[in-house]
Amino acid sequence: MEVSVILVESFGKWLRTLGYAENTAYLSAHYVTDFFFYLKSLGITDLEGVQPETLTGYHRHLQTRRQKRRTGGLSQNYIVSNINALRRFSKYLQETGKPFFEVSIKPKPDRETIRSILSLKEIKAMYDACSHDYLGIRDRAILSVYYGCGLRRSEGASLDVKDVMLKEKLLFVRAGKGYKERYAPMTEAVKDDLENYIYQSRERIQSFKEAKNEALFLSIRVRRMCGNALMDRVHKLTETANIQKEIGLHALRHSIATHLLQSGMTLEEVSQFLGHSSLESTQIYTHLAHD
């Protein structure tokens, strides 16, 4: 077995051990495999031969490479994901004591990602689209968790009611990326939305069954709402608000990060708010805020 194959397999296992989603681990390993094929085409047989110009050349290669199954070139999102995978691979090499290379390339997101960012007016329209019944109160709480606190899809779905610290105005995020725990701050408005949901809407839903469920977001069957169910509620709000954009839970996270930067918050502060492990992950929002 070639050394590159062993490295890629070990890299995938490392990502899974850190708690990365299965799809992220699989695609990251796939992107790194493509990178090794590129190195082989240059006659580079070991990682010590990877220089800054090698990575620059690989970035140019991705920008000009044709798709294998469709016509046209690679999407910018694909290129960004590819480079991010190399960053993870570089971190893996460093932390396991292997020869490594620095990845300083910062590709911009594509126009589709930029177009998925909601304006402040559109965010207000989504809040206004929430009805005043118990399901509408829950919808408002979902917006407050994913937009107001900028949580990732899995982080919000994994919240238990005990993780909402109303007095301290904090959310305890137990299921962060890479199993990293953190506290996400909430504004007074977010606190009010969650308080109304917990003591009005959620208590009513909880009364539908005798068995208690600790999950924050409950379905009408008194079960923990999964990511898809939460996303469906967001889609319904965008339809009611007549927003003509492809919006998911992560778009709300993109939007709050962009709005915070536009309001004058520093990159470091936004990075801490989002729970990023490095500023490199937050750099994308500087492009989004500018555009």
DSSP 116: T
115 is catalytic: no
Residue showing tokens 């801490």: 272
pLDDT tens for residues 161-212? 999 999 999 999 986 666 678 899 999 999 999 999 999 999 999 999 988 8
pLDDT tens for residues 253-273? 889 988 988 888 887 888 888
Of the three residues 67, 90, 107, the one that is the final residue of a domain is 107
pLDDT tens for residues 133-145? 999 999 999 999 9
Q: What is the total count of domains within the chain?
A: 2
285 is catalytic: yes
250 is catalytic: yes
Catalytic residue among 202, 253, 254, 259: 253
Q: What's 35's domain CATH number? A: 1.10.150
Catalytic residue among 88, 140, 153, 177: 177
169 is catalytic: no
Domain assignment of residue 218, given as a range: 115-290
Segment holding 195, helix H or strand E: helix 188-196
Residue showing tokens 């047989």: 45
* 233 and 197 in a common domain: yes
152 is catalytic: yes
Cα of 122 vs its chain's centroid, Å = 20
Catalytic residue among 152, 153, 191, 254: 152
Distance CA 181, CA 275 (A): 9
* 103 and 122 in a common domain: no
pLDDT of residue 183: 93
Of the three residues 82, 107, 132, the one that is the final residue of a domain is 107
134 is catalytic: no
Of the three residues 107, 140, 157, the one that is the final residue of a domain is 107
